[in-house]
Chain A
Amino acid sequence: MAVASLPVDALHGLGVPTDLVQRLAARLGLPMAAPRDVGGRVAVLLGDAETALDPAHWARPFAAWIEVAPLNDDALAVQVARAGQADLYACLTTATASRVQLAGRVVHAVAQRYPLTETQRDDIELALHEAISNAVVHGNLQVEGMKGLSVDALDRFSHELAARMANPAYAGRRIEVSCWLKPEGELLVEVADEGSGFAPHACDHGTSDASGRGLHLIAAIAQQVELLDNGRRIRLRFVL
């Protein structure tokens, strides 16, 4: 989609080697400043899940969150450029996105920039959480939903999810969230995963299973829902 370029103003590292941040900042022509010294939008390179867990690391002026491992310099430069195309941007591994409850972090960041009522916050967090959960569980971890309503289905889901989350080949895949906030009161959010995609009609099986309600909840909350890139990307529009 055509979006205005909104480059970030500075690069900051948390739990990553200083020389990595220096190298990348020099390459991208960005200052490497402590967040308090900059008024604009700071992209932060996160070293690990632990640094991502601290709520202070999600407050302004941070506007983009990029988990470093295991990306090389080229891939990180691409990430910072992508961060510059959205108002808010997060690109985390599946394991970290799940651990930090990414939807809540993003909604908090949105609320720091646009006043939201409590109901709006709850609703947007739920819709975003459902989109991110789908990207995590069905997209990147490629775990199927719970069929039927038995505890056996829950057992199967539970075991598969735990096994895939413990496997770096799946848990290391990325979840990308981009937000555009328009002053007239519109929030556009995209959530993308690195799974094999899906055909939405295959999931449209009503409500006789324990899984399969996420998209319905999203559709009940967001004003517009689009599935893109063969189901690997979902775009939600909220009128605020």
Chain B
Amino acid sequence: MDYGIDVKEQEAVVRLHGRLTFNDHAKLRALIREMLQNKAKRQVLDLSALEFVDSAGIGMLLIAREEMANVDKQLVLRAATGQVKRVLTVAQLNKIVTIEE
């Protein structure tokens, strides 16, 4: 998985690319730190270019959500498609995280 961050005043948009699996633990640690450091209240993960996510990837997204909530920031998952959208549904993540089309 790779990512790029675009920080604006109100929201930071992080675009994820490729596959997000348990192998990406180190990258997720780095990403969560960057999201904690920038000033935006809304941290949007743009998933439109993410091709595959597994249960560990879901778990890491929930850690990101929790860490954002701890500093009064909001995590939003946006524009998931294909397999990623399906996993978010099967894992019923909409009950825990804000999901936008």
Q: Report which A residues bind B (CB closer than 8 A).
A: 98, 101, 118-119, 122-123, 125-126, 129-130, 133, 137, 145-146, 149-151, 153-155, 157-158, 161-162, 209-214, 216-217, 220-221
Contacts and interface: CB of A to CB of B under 8 A. Distances in A.
Interface string B1-43: 0000000000000000001011101101100110000000000
27 contacts: A98-B23, A122-B86, A125-B52, A125-B83, A126-B87, A130-B54, A133-B21, A133-B55, A133-B56, A146-B59, A150-B67, A151-B33, A153-B63, A154-B28, A158-B25, A158-B26, A158-B29, A161-B22, A161-B25, A162-B26, A209-B59, A210-B59, A210-B63, A211-B59, A212-B59, A213-B55, A213-B91
Nearest to B61: A210
A211 B56 contact: yes
A122 B29 contact: no
Nearest to A122: B83
A98 B19 CA distance: 13
A161 B25 CA distance: 9
A155 to B, nearest CB: 6
Given A154-B29, A162-B26, A220-B90, A126 B83 contact: yes
A129 B54 contact: yes
Contacts, number: 81
B83 to A, nearest CB: 4
B90 to A, nearest CB: 5
A130 B29 contact: no
Q: How large is the interface on B (under 10, 10 to 19, 20 to 34, 35 or more residues)?
A: 20 to 34
A210 B29 contact: no
Contacts of A119: 86
Interface of B: 19, 21-23, 25-26, 28-29, 32-33, 52, 54-56, 58-60, 62-63, 65-67, 82-83, 86-87, 90-91
Contacts of B19: 101
Contacts of A157: 25
B32 A151 contact: yes
A154 B60 contact: yes
A119 B32 CA distance: 31
Given A98-B23, A126-B83, A158-B25, A210 B62 contact: yes
A149 B26 contact: no
Contact of B55 (A123, A130, A155): A130
A149 B62 CA distance: 7
A217 B55 CA distance: 7
Given A126-B83, A149-B66, A217-B55, 15 more contacts: A98-B23, A125-B52, A129-B21, A129-B54, A149-B63, A154-B25, A155-B29, A210-B63, A211-B56, A212-B59, A213-B58, A213-B59, A214-B55, A216-B55, A217-B87
